[in-house]
Structure 1
Amino acid sequence: MDVIATAGHVDHGKSTLVRALTGMEPDRWEEERRRGLTIDLGFAWTTLPSGRRLAVVDVPGHERFVGNMLAGVGSVPAALVVVAADDGWSAQTAEHVAVLDALGVRHALLAVTKADLADARPVLDDARERLAATSMGAVPGVAVSAATGAGVPEVAAALEAMLAGLPAPDRSAPVRLWIDRAFPIKGAGTVVTGTLAAGTVAPGDRLQLGDREVGVRGVQSLGRPVERARATARVALNLRGIAVEEIARGDALLTPGAFRVTVDVDVTLDVAPDRLPAEAVVHVGSAAVGARLRPLEGTAVRLRLAGPLPLRVGDRLLVRDPGARRVLGADVRDVDPPELRRRGAARQRAAELAAQPTGAAGAAVELARRRVVRAADFAAMGWPVPDGATAVGPWLMAPGLADQLAARLPAVVARYRELRPLEPGPPVDVARRALELPDAELLRAVVRPPLALREGRVSAATAGLPPQVQQAVDAVRARLAADAFAAPEAPDLAAAGLGPRELAAAVRDGQLVKIADGVFLAPGVADVARQRLTGLPAPFTLSQARSAWGTTRRVAVPLMEWLDARGVTERLPDNTRRLR
């Protein structure tokens, strides 16, 4: 399906032409039909001669309803510009075309109506010349009379040609459906409508609406139920679990987690105006939100929105100054902009925005500025993953950053060991803070040989002990080599300079094994103890084990419990043991 919007003055016969093309009445309200004046959005659809389905959003033409007009064109990729042969280009036509130009609409068709009342050629030539100076460029034009039917088939054929040139919508993209109507249906509940510009939606989907998730009970498109609606399409969604009073035009249904909801936005305007208002109205999709404007420099502006909007980098906004009846087009450049605190920060920010490319190249620049970001947040901002980025769990690191930090880390570890020579290296959180990383998980991409992550620390592979401590530990190991179970007494350890910190360091370094408080033996003691016990009849007593080991109860009791805990021995109900 294709979707277009109408544009033009109230007296130029937009709605009449829509009726002639579709056979449907786009004006929904009795007052509209009575006054012959489109007040709110109207909707109609038809099947073109080729079989192509076309939906039309008929927007108000009167200047008093420009807000409603903006709500109708925000999500539509093409326009039907209507000018009357007996009236010509008007101020309201110019305002509508300025909106289409600010939105960057590139596909349009010009229809000069009331060709039965006046010569359409001068108006066609004038309007096409004016349109050529906008984003729509060279626009085909057709003279038509809805009253006589002359030219209606030619309008349909020209629409076919225009629609054939539309770019294919991204149906794999997340859903952001800007709601333009919400109403109850008896027996069905709440129904909302909008133009699905990208993605797909089907019954059973869960979508985000504000701070809650809602279920899609049913989907209709052009008045018929469908199993799945695919962009581009006019859709009506029957929602589960929400009242119509909780929904308003301008709300958006979103794929959960796919968009960043923000009130601070950096944008670049199409042109640098002579004067910017302090406050304006920002339009996107069907939403209209007040905003305070802070000029940065040149065309760069920071917007502080009066209410949150789900925006992405690359979105197109309209900034409207209601007092001056002026509309400016703006590109969203950052939906999570940095704070501007220092003198000159606004100018620097404007320079960054001016230098930042778009697409993948822009993503690389942005990721380099942020250094590290959650991958889901980066995608929700609208950025693709740049080549060379490092993925670590849920995080993305800027290209080259992991290598830079890996080169810095040895100095961090060395400095830490200078200050704390008994420790093999800094705890992971200390290393994380030193490298200014948001999560210790990121160290996995930074710690490289000869460094290693061990027991919650970043350790040197050959950390070793201070010379004096090593000498004392060597003496203890020599004693244990002669008698594996002759654990030194606490006074002997203290006299050798081995206090709790030194002993803990020796244990971390794998040079001693802590059996219990005050009881330290050599690595491999479990094998030696098991070998000595193999000569005993099973089951055996603690006293028999002590004799086999040739040690005291001070050592034997904690050693036996240590062996039990490691599954070397098994304690039986009568307190005897056997080897496993």
Structure 2
Amino acid sequence: MRVLTTAGHVDHGKSALVRALTGMEPDRYEEERRRGLTLDLGFVWTRTEPDGEYLAFVDVPGHERFVATMLAGAGPVPAVLFVVAADQGWQPQSQEHLVILDALGVRHAVLAVTRSDLADPEPVRADAVRRLAATSLGTVPSVAVSAVTGAGLDALRTELARLADALPVPPADADVRLWLDRAFTVRGHGTVVTGTLGAGTLRVGDRLVASDGTTALRVRALQSLQRERTAVSGVARVAVNVHGSLDGALRRGDVLLTPDRWLLTDLIDVRVAGEPAGELPRTVRLHLGTAAVAVTVRPLGEDTARLTLSRPLPLRVGDRAVLREPGGGRTPCAATVLDVRPPRLDRRGAGRARAAELATLTGRPDGAAELRRRRLVRRTELLAMGVPAPAEPVTGDWLADEHHWAGLRTRLAAEVERYAEEHPMEPGLPAEAARRLLDLPDRALVDALARAPGATALHSREGRLYGPGSVRPALPPPLRAAVDAVRQDLEKTPFRAPEADRLAELGLHRKALAAAVRAGALLRVSDTVVLLPGADAEAAAVLRRLPQPFTLSEARRALDTTRRVAVPLLELLDARGHTERVDDLHRRCRPQDPRKPTNT
């Protein structure tokens, strides 16, 4: 299917022309037919030939009071049938509709000069072709027609068929963004919405979300051109029967989205065309798709501005929109979305700096450039902005600019070294402290930096980062001397742990003990009991020589230690799988795994 919108001044014969082309009535309301004036959007279709492409027309009103309705019809549609009457020529709404199409970047059109039975169409055709050529439409084919006599209709059908063949086919696997132009309730079926599906595929059973980004809906049924479908790919006119918990009624301007693939934003930076940004009114309406949203304008550069939207919309980099003053007091202008996640402008001079940055942006999605600007960004967020991911994640879903990542690696190594110098008793920099120092949004990035190849090797152990060399930190001389004294105390009686006063005498207070344990110089059995590394395995070897099972008292005597040490030591042996409880009074040693060494 190919979808076109009509465009042109009021009463220039748009509806009569599509009626003649399709044999269908585009004006749905009795008042429209009675007055001969299109008040709302109409939808009709035909085929280019008996087995050819379907052409669907979105017929829009031409009256100046209904330009917002025209924008809702033209917004999602990639091509236009532009209509000018031979007996009236170019008119004000002809010009406004052309400005709107140019602002939206529409590039495909056919010009129809209607009422050619009432006046010579050639002067009007030449004038209209010239005007269209100066816009995004470029030089377009043109046909003089009469809906009354039928003259020129076959030639127009031929040009429309050529247009249909030339239109690009959007990707069927694109994320769905269906702007709604109608919503109503059908008894026995519930809510039905219609719109022009620009890209992607809708299937019965699909899950979608509504404009708020959270309301979940399910596609119960699909129609296209009044036929039931199981799937429809863009570009296509679709009617969707949706089911879900809707807090409020859906309406024109709402949107249905592929879940988790779009960013809703109420703050965007745009490039403005058609009028200097500084001359825009403070408040205008932004038209995109079928949505019309009030926005507040903050000019930044000569042709760039920041827009604050009155409600969030699912926007992407490169989206084309129209800025129009309510009431149509001035010519609409174009807005191209440059950034859907712009930085705050709180500091003095931030606006000027941002204007200089925006001047370098093209509005075309560029993954490498976007990553250079953002330095760190989640891959899913970048894709939701409409920007392709230029590289593989450094960890999880995180993308990092190569130069920024290298700089972070150097900074992290320096912070680890500085922390070790300032905290000789506990030299390992806590990973969470490293995250805060580097202002990183995720702890996983710290771990990835520590693992990244570089000139300075970093080691991670128990949530701390250490510099080159051993994973275990080196002990300062006073602490090393204290540990050596404990080692001498335990040489003859390895399970008689030093008492608290002996530890205090050696200067082994809480922080010093913790540092020695982290360095692997001591084994922590409990908060007040420390032994030498490997004492747990030695104790297990002693206990294996006892008759099984054994009591706490028997274990204490075999280990030549006190109850103060024996109780926590046996609990440690239980936790490490050397021993296990049999009942409240007895333990036994677990069978050894022959694949494991006897000493650890």
TM interval, shorter chain, is: over 0.9
Does 2:256 correspond to 1:253? Answer: yes
Assess, with a 3 A threshold, how the Cα gap between structure 1 residues 536 and 237 changes in structure 2: closer, same or farther.
Answer: same
What percentage of aligned pairs have identical amino acids?
A: 55
Whether the 8 Å CA contact 1:390–1:402 is kept in 2: the answer is no
CA deviation after TM superposition for structure 1 residue 115, in Å: 1.7
Q: Secondary structure at the match of 1:258?
A: coil
User: What's the CA shift for 1:323?
Assistant: 4.6
- Aligned CA distance change for structure 1 residues 383 and 467 (closer, same or farther; 3 Å): same
- Return the offset for 1:20: 0.9
Q: Is the 8 A contact 1:190 1:244 kept in 2?
A: no
Residue equivalent to 2:19: 19
CA distance in 1, matches of 2:131, 2:564: 101
For residues 312-391 of structure 1, what are the structure 2 equivalents within 5 Å? 312-321=316-325, 322-359=327-364, 362-387=366-391, 390-391=393-394
The equivalent residue for 2:461 is 454
How far apart, CA to CA, are the structure 2 residues paired with 1:232 and 1:14? 22
TM superposition shift of 1:542: 3.0
1:152-551 equivalences under 5 Å are: 152-211=153-212, 212-241=215-244, 246-273=249-276, 275-321=279-325, 322-359=327-364, 362-387=366-391, 390-448=393-451, 450-460=457-467, 461-551=471-561
Structure 1, residues 428-460: CA drift from partner, whole Å, max 9, x if none? Answer: 110001111011111122114632222122233
Shift of 1:537: 2.1
Q: Kindly provide the amino acid, as one letter, of the partner of residue 297 in structure 2.
A: L
List gaps (5 residues or longer) in structure 2.
Answer: 591-600
Superposed displacement of residue 496, structure 1: 1.4
Which amino acid is 1:137 matched to?
G
When the two structures are aligned, how many residues end up with a matched partner? 578
More off after superposition, 512-521 vs 231-240: 512-521
8 Å contact from structure 1 (residues 189, 243) kept in 2: no
Could you tell which deviates more after superposition, 271-280 or 320-329? 271-280
- Partners in 2 of 1:456 and 1:242 — Cα distance? 45
Give the equivalent residue in structure 2 for 1:122. Answer: 123
Partner Cα distance (1:137, 1:69) in 2:
21
Question: Would the alpha carbon gap of residues 263 and 539 (structure 1) be closer, same or farther in structure 2, given more than 3 Å must change?
Answer: closer
Instruction: Tell me which residue corresponds to 2:30.
Output: 30
| Runs of at least 5 residues in structure 1 that lack an aligned partner in the other structure | none
Q: Distance in 2 between matches of 1:463 and 1:277?
A: 64
Distance 1:574 1:45 in 2: 85
Judge conservation of contact 1:297–1:347 (CA < 8 Å) in 2. yes
Q: TM-score, normalised by structure 2?
A: 0.92
In the superposition, the TM-score normalised over structure 1's length comes to 0.95
Preserved contact between residue 179 and residue 256 of structure 2 (Cα < 8 Å):
yes
Mark the CA change 1:25 to 1:574 in structure 2 (over 3 Å): closer, same or farther: closer
- Structure 2: which amino acid aligns with 1:459? Y
Structure 2 Cα separation of the partners of residues 172 and 500 of structure 1: 61
Letter of the structure 2 residue corresponding to residue 104 of structure 1: G
Q: 1:278 and 1:576, CA in 2 relative to 1: closer, same or farther beyond 3 A?
A: closer
3-state SS of paired residue (2:429): coil
The one-letter amino acid paired with 1:454 is R
Distance in 2 separating the partners of 1:357 and 1:94? 27
Cα pair 2:472 2:518 within 8 Å, conserved: no
The DSSP-based 3-state class of the residue aligned with 1:438 is: coil
| Whole-angstrom CA distance in 2 between matches of 1:571 and 1:304 | 67
Superposition RMSD in Å: 1.9
State the 1:110 CA deviation: 0.6
SS of aligned partner of 1:11? coil
| Matching residue's letter, 2:308 | R
Is 1:568–2:578 an aligned residue pair? yes
Q: CA deviation at 1:353?
A: 0.8
Q: Is the 8 A contact 2:500 2:528 kept in 1?
A: yes
Could you tell me which residue of structure 2 aligns to residue 144 of structure 1? 145
Alignment of 1:38-53 (within 5 A): 38-49=38-49, 51-53=52-54
CA apart distance, 1:357: 4.3
